[in-house]
Structure 1
Amino acid sequence: MIVVTAPTGQIGQQVVRNLLKQDASVRVIARDPSKLPSRIRSKVDVIEGSHATPEIVKRAFDGAETVFWLVPADEKADSVIAAYVDFSRPAAAALKANRVKRVVSVTALGRNTPLAANAGYVTGSLAMDDLIASTGVDFRALTMPSFMDNLLMQAASIKSQGMFFSPISGDLKLPSCATRDIATVASRLLLDPNWHGREELAVLGPENISFNDMAETMSDVLGNPVRFQQIPFEAYKARFLQFGFSEAMAQGMTDMARAKDRGLDLGVERTSENTTPTSFRQWCQDVLRPTLLG
């Protein structure tokens, strides 16, 4: 039995589909099972509730060999540690109590750089990994740069203004990956019962790319000019506060962006093993363009 958390999110839903294609036995934890497509609901065991709840994770992990662990950050949390570590404490206890063998998690790059100590969401996610590893499970932490798919949050401004925004320098070339490639790597590990120990595995996409490079590619694929605009970190934080984030979580987003601007995501050497196939151009063709076209 494989348990998938956050099965209605960008990554989780793709993981579930991948597992079902291989006829795996899948159980999901979902706050709102109605968000699962009916064709998926009929093929999985659904535990309704939050995977921050002790009773829910204890029931979900009963009889499970492997867990896919993904924490949807709570934008109203009191701190990033509360959002990641405290959220995961019931699961850590349930992993031990139910003797789960393996966990695959989605986390962040940066552990081996001093920047990780004050990197907001990254700092919280790495502390979460330490908590999971302390349970003694065999553990693979998939360490991520920014997702290409995060640009979908700015789809409206790309479509109406031909612009997207970030406080990170437009010329800084950083790794960026597609969520479908993350799901592919995660699914492969979830289906493989033969790995052991604890290890971080980076998922870096096919190349390092700047926001200015992205704007040029988007312009070409969309057939309309798109421009990147760098904004001050203070304005970046203010936007999250306007969206209803708590002070701590808005600051966490800002601290993460500042650390990335200083090179947080450049601390892992690119190899054939951590390079994934979906280029930014391909992602624009397959995901961004259809989204903007409705």
Structure 2
Amino acid sequence: MKKIVVTTPTGNIGSRVVQLLIQAGARPTLLVRDPGRLSETVRSACEIRQGDLSDQDFVIEATRGADALFWLIPTNYSAADPVADVLRLGTVAAAAVQSNQITRTVFLSSSGAEQRGNHLLGTLGLVEDLLNATGQNVVHLRPGYLFTNLFTVVEELRAGVLTTTTSLDHRAGWNDPRDIGEIAAARLLSDSWSGQQVQPIGGPADLSYREVAALVGEAIERPIQAVQISEDEHRQNLLGAGLPVPVAEALVELSRTIANIKPEELGRSYASTTPTSLGAWCYAHLRPLFK
């Protein structure tokens, strides 16, 4: 049986990866900080390794003998330097792949990683380079916005607005995390691909913020207005929510990076298009919050 190692198994994407691997008959190895967050059903069907992804010795030992690795870098909103934190965890992943000669790695990157630099999305691009340099087979999944990001703005939606620093007509792909998990699981189970690849994931359609607001409003049965705000307003909102200054600055820069993404340059294909529509997801997951 292949040894498939999965990080962030309790997250929206990682948990879907785990479920599909179990359903396919695999017994994945899960790297998890707190095994108590896993259900007993999952724990009984997997090998559990408790530890911190920033601990290189732990990760190298836990991935020894692995045939495939799913690596997702969790967002750390308490990090003193969230950008450096991403690069540090990427360095750990590359060290494990290199040390253990892991044949295939599925890395959750992001749309915008092509804008390499010292910012959250650009650093994901640098991690892609580190993984490519191992010489092993790697696919970098690059989704756009996640539907679940809308959970962070529920209070905004209650006030009837959806704010962004980007142009209201700027279009981007929006994705259900479950769909991303399905692509990741398929890649982990397959031995038919090789090389270093980039796979954009753009949801079923590229949407403007005006269209997103309309779809959300229809699902929750209240009018939602898309509103463009300045970077400074965005910064003050983040700080007002209690985020540390470095994190707030990193998220402001993230918004700036997103504004420079051009979906038409990323291309849309059968492979990059996922099935779940934003409207259907909002009806199932956001609508109950407004009842």
State the Cα distance separating 1:292 from its structure 2 match: 4.3
CA distance in 2, matches of 1:37, 1:84: 28
Q: How does 1:77-226 map to 2 (within 5 A)?
A: 77-112=79-114, 116-117=115-116, 120-158=119-157, 160-226=158-224
Q: Which residue of 2 aligns with 1:289?
A: 287
Indicate conservation of the 8 Å contact 1:119/1:256, yes or no.
no
Structure 1 unaligned regions, length at least 5 = none
Structure 1 residue matching 2:186: 3-state secondary structure: helix
Partner-residue secondary structure (3-state), 2:45: coil
Q: CA deviation at 1:118?
A: 5.1
Identity %: 27
Deviations 1:49-75 (A, max 9, x none): 111112221222012100000001222
Contact 2:235 2:252 in 1 (8 A): yes
Question: What is the CA deviation profile of residues 93-148 of structure 1, one whole-angstrom value per residue up to 9, with x for unaligned ones?
Answer: 22222221110011122355xxx145721111111111111112200000121112
Alignment CA distance shift 1:242-1:135 (3 Å): farther
State whether residues 166 and 229 of structure 1, in contact with CA within 8 Å, keep that contact through their aligned partners in structure 2: yes
Could you say which residue in structure 2 is the equivalent of 1:269? Answer: 267
- Gap change, CA 1:259 and 1:266, over 3 Å in 2: farther
The answer to whether the Cα contact below 8 Å between 1:76 and 1:244 also exists between their aligned partners in 2 is no
Q: How far off is 1:185 after superposition?
A: 0.7
Aligned to 1:27: 29
Label 1:241 to 1:132 Cα distance change in 2 as closer, same or farther (>3 A): farther
What is the TM-score of this pair, normalised by structure 1? 0.91
For the pair 1:254 / 2:256, whether they are aligned, the reply is no
Unaligned runs of 5+ in 2: none
Distance (whole Å) between structure 1 residues aligned to residue 144 and residue 150 of structure 2: 13
Residue 268 of structure 1, CA deviation: 0.5
Q: How far is 1:215 from its partner?
A: 1.5
In structure 2, C-alpha distance between the alignment counterparts of 1:224 and 1:126, rounded to whole Å: 39
Which residue of 2 is the match for residue 3 of structure 1?
Answer: 5
**Aligned 8 A contact 1:83 1:124 in 2:** no
How far apart in 2 are the matches of 1:139 and 1:63? 17
Q: Which amino acid aligns with 1:102?
A: R
Q: Deviations over 1:225-247 (max 9, x none)?
A: 22222221112123333444443
Size of the alignment, in residue pairs? 289
Measured on the aligned residues, the alpha-carbon RMSD in Å equals 1.9
Structure of higher RCO (CA pairs closer than 8 Å, 6+ residues apart)? 1
